[in-house]
Chains A and B, each alone.
Chain A
């Protein structure tokens, strides 16, 4: 594992800072099945980090571990310099980790606006007693949050569906709304689970641009799982490759593409 703590500047002028999250020797088992076996890698501030691998390689499990949804039997995770114990997803959320899901998980009956507003719930300080007062401080607070949500709606270019129930939206737009909800949390680390799954070329291009823009404009660190190799190689600064729970490569897109182990894993060479 290449531990670098100094910040570097990428070719396109973005600053990549020190280690934001370090995953050290993680092993995750479900009964007899070992989903992840001793994986270690790090995610650095400001970078776009991809996790790739064939089906069943343990990518989503890895995201769920980072998110605090699964609890690894072995290994440690360090986030913002602090080692985490007994993580739960809602604690991860308060610490600044937001995510989207492989299968869109939105509130289907609620509008785009309300769905994204729900991403602000953690940041709302006023409780229900304040909220029942019409002109109280809760109102002012809500306006501020609404303002932030509107910048996201503008950013993701979805003002035309502001009031539309998300269940009525096409899949590509639902994915965008979900991304919006994650962004509304103002996360330090954004986890994207197959953001382009099931999209056509045009939608993929749009989504790629949004991911790059989020990274650039908000400086958000992004870890993403993706199947589309072209997208991964174009977007990410560094790539982790998992295969059957093993971490088989970690490096820049170029390095990973030339790695024989990765080629074998994708082309299906027999495992010893």
Chain B
């Protein structure tokens, strides 16, 4: 099985790829970062030197083969280099989610036994120091931004630049008879790396339970990077913006794996808040974002169009209509009449081009969305503009790629065909299994979970229910296997299917639908503060907080009409018509990863929400018209507070199939 993808000689580890890139593309940009308002860039050979200096310094500080190095911070070139530097030393980088609270971080650090941590700034250092009693293994902290850290105790703490300087200063110093110099030591460690060595450990945020450390080997990463780059013809000419968390497997594959394999440049935004602006300046050709990003973007476009003047609004509406009918077909290279082509070309000048430019997506050649199902309308919106947005289906355990959509076979309701080297299997219960070169080694220190997920032949259970379309060979995912349930009357219950339909409305940020084992479906709704807030401002509604806006009768009425529209569309689907929402309420707070209600990748944690809000769910089902809610919330700095409110419960109109038939 392992011989499926053969890697070229001497290219079986990331540091070796870096060496090759420095030789072959020495003078072209490898990393860019916007700092002080200007894009700073580093060429491949500069990156190699930076990585080398850091690696030397880390060895001097005592980094041993097999050590784990925690990497914590926003996307910064220096932190990406730190990963490669750790690998060069024979150590294993473990990137962590930078917005995790101290306790979550301590769990992961303790679990992987990290001896070194390379972090971005004071914020992260403070979290480590706060938890230092719980993580005795941690010996050295290297930080990037010295601000505010000057008066800290520096016996086990070092500025990044100083570590590099230390490394360079000591590189060729003699260490006594028969002992290698630092530089020789580093070279021998790098040479000793093979495809079987661990490349990275990525902790999955997991919708249930404690995070698990997914161990991926060099072979996993490089083989996947190779096949996926070939699939989309990625080359050194491409460019990406690295803005998704470094702890997420996708970012690792794109910014480390594929970038090192093909030699394309990775750009890091100035800060989280300037991402949209930086995206526009960089104009990436290869772009990845979760559905939520695309949803938010449409929401912001919709808001701005509503604020625009009448003529602009009418032009926009007309040409978006044109795009919706022919845009997707033009992108797929299908035949379209000359009149439509002319209209589309005019629309491109007036609307699509400028819009894509504003969104920063004009140069996107390959765009992907994954992680969650994307609303078909959202998907089509981008495709109709001429942006080659495609879907892929992947997992940390597979080093991302399980299936992906080839150009010309893109549809909103499938996730594509198996990626190169991937075998798929659907078991009798409908769960999807795969086997591929990217399949992870083990869950770190968690034999039980490993055995439960991966069998002896290397087949991995995805936990998703799906089926392969006989006519096209595309995989279709229905829902999480454990979430797909049965209603009391035996009909199928697929909560995500309904939630996604709700979330397409700009006013709705998040929805959670209940109904498994019950006689009817009910829902929690989170409104989108930017969309609803904008609407409130235009209608002269005053509000002081999210909570107040969420409880406003007019907002409730608007959401009710959305719910009823969704019900109507669900009613058309015979298999799922039982999933119509009878009753709903708008939550008094936004679901938040800090409260454990969402994962760090912003996926709903159904079980925890069910537990936390059991009283609200009870009220939804016992027919009461309102319910008092009092909920604990966690602020960004880890402090806790409480929010309470009386929530109104609304009944929504249901639609029957007979009525559909009559129409």
Q: Chain A residues in contact with chain B, CB under 8 A?
A: 12-14, 146-147, 150-151, 153-155, 157, 159-160, 162, 209, 212-213, 216-217
Contacts and interface: CB of A to CB of B under 8 A. Distances in A.
Contacts of A147: 36
Interface in B129-168: 147-148, 150-151
A153 B38 CA distance: 12
Contacts of A14: 151
B37 A159 contact: yes
Most buried by A among B35, B37, B151: B37
B275 to A, nearest CB: 9
A70 B342 CA distance: 71
Contacts of A150: 36-38
Given A160-B271, A216-B150, 13 more contacts: A12-B151, A13-B151, A14-B151, A147-B36, A150-B37, A151-B36, A153-B36, A154-B35, A154-B36, A155-B147, A162-B37, A212-B148, A213-B148
A212 B277 CA distance: 30
B274 interface: yes
A159 B274 contact: yes
B147 A159 contact: no
B60 to A, nearest CB: 26
13 contacts: A13-B150, A13-B151, A14-B151, A150-B38, A153-B37, A154-B35, A154-B36, A160-B273, A160-B274, A160-B277, A213-B147, A213-B148, A216-B151
Interface of B: 35-38, 147-148, 150-151, 270-271, 273-274, 277
Contacts of B151: 12-14, 216
Given A159-B271, A159-B274, A216 B36 contact: no
Grouping DSSP codes into helix (H, G, I), strand (E, B) and loop, the A interface class, with mixed when no group exceeds half, is: helix
A269 B36 CA distance: 53
Given A209-B148, A213-B147, A157 B36 contact: no
Contacts of B38: 150
A162 B277 CA distance: 11
A154 B37 CA distance: 9
A262 to B, nearest CB: 29
Grouping DSSP codes into helix (H, G, I), strand (E, B) and loop, the B interface class, with mixed when no group exceeds half, is: loop
A1 to B, nearest CB: 29
Given A150-B36, A151-B36, A154-B36, A216 B148 contact: yes
A147 B38 CA distance: 9
B318 to A, nearest CB: 31
B522 to A, nearest CB: 35
Contacts of A153: 36-37
Contacts of B271: 157, 159-160
Contacts of B36: 147, 150-151, 153-154
Nearest to B635: A202
B185 to A, nearest CB: 36
A242 to B, nearest CB: 31
B33 to A, nearest CB: 12
B421 to A, nearest CB: 42
A153 B36 CA distance: 8
Contacts of B35: 154
A162 B271 CA distance: 12
Contacts of A159: 37, 270-271, 273-274
A140 to B, nearest CB: 16
Contacts of B148: 209, 212-213, 216
A154 B277 CA distance: 16
A216 B147 CA distance: 9
A250 to B, nearest CB: 26
B238 to A, nearest CB: 26
Nearest to A216: B150
Nearest to B273: A160
Contact of B147 (A13, A160, A162, A217): A217
Contacts of A216: 148, 150-151
A216 B148 CA distance: 7
Contacts of B37: 146, 150, 153, 159, 162
A147 B35 CA distance: 11
A160 B275 CA distance: 9
Contacts of A155: 147
Nearest to A209: B148
A213 B36 CA distance: 18
Nearest to B37: A150
A217 B148 CA distance: 8
B486 to A, nearest CB: 46
Nearest to A10: B151
A12 B37 CA distance: 33
A177 B640 CA distance: 30
A162 B35 CA distance: 13
A128 to B, nearest CB: 25
Contacts of A213: 147-148
A39 to B, nearest CB: 32
A67 to B, nearest CB: 29
